[in-house]
Amino acid sequence: MTEHNQNDVLHDQSSEVVDSDNQESRLMAMLIYLLSLFSGFIGPLIIWIIKHKESRFVNKAGKNYLNFVISYTIWTIIILVVMLVPFFIGLSMGTDTSMTVGFIIYIIGFIIMMVLAFVLAFVSFIFTIIACVKYYNGNEYLIPLSIRFFK
């Protein structure tokens, strides 16, 4: 084997190590999001804690995931609080007639907020799937409406 061929073989072997390391990082980053569908935030948190020092890509994916979870928890709490406002408006109306109007206001508000909660859950699921694909392909993905707590 000539010296030129030996260098090619060594170069090919070292690039495989880099590629497999990159492949592992992409897989771990993807698993952060994929596991969230089955284990809530515990599985992704465990992967991130174990792997964040080994790969900047996994560290970034973990931080983006935590930003996503915290942000969507805040959005859910806001929806629940807003959902209670029509209820208290209905309670504050004293007479029977105004109680009926208040109850109707509450029901309408409740339905609107339930639809918003469902939409938030649905888009959360869709964005999680998109994040899985993006991270597996080696691209960072910031889920919309995520507040950047960790950078």
Give the pLDDT score at 15.
31
147 lies in a domain?
no
Q: How many whole angstroms separate alpha carbon 67 and alpha carbon 139? A: 17
pLDDT of 63 over the 70 cut? yes
Confidence class for position 117, pLDDT limits 50, 70, 90:
confident
Rounded to two decimals, what is the model's pTM?
0.71
Q: How many whole angstroms separate alpha carbon 110 and alpha carbon 102? A: 12
Confidence class for position 12, pLDDT limits 50, 70, 90:
very low
Residue 96 is which amino acid?
Answer: D
Contact 110, 33 (CB under 8 A): no
The helix or strand, by DSSP H or E, that contains position 89, with its residue range, turns out to be: helix 56-92
Q: In which domain, by residue range, is 19 found? A: 3-136
In 3D space, the residue among 59, 36, 70, 46 whose CA is nearest the CA of residue 147 turns out to be 70
The helix or strand, by DSSP H or E, that contains position 101, with its residue range, turns out to be: helix 96-136
Structural domains of the chain, count: 1
149 lies in a domain?
no
Q: Which residue's entry shows tokens 């910031």? A: 142
143 lies in a domain?
no
Summarised one tens digit per residue, pLDDT across range 67-114 is 999 999 998 898 888 777 766 766 666 556 656 776 777 778 778 888
Q: How many whole angstroms separate alpha carbon 99 and alpha carbon 73? A: 32
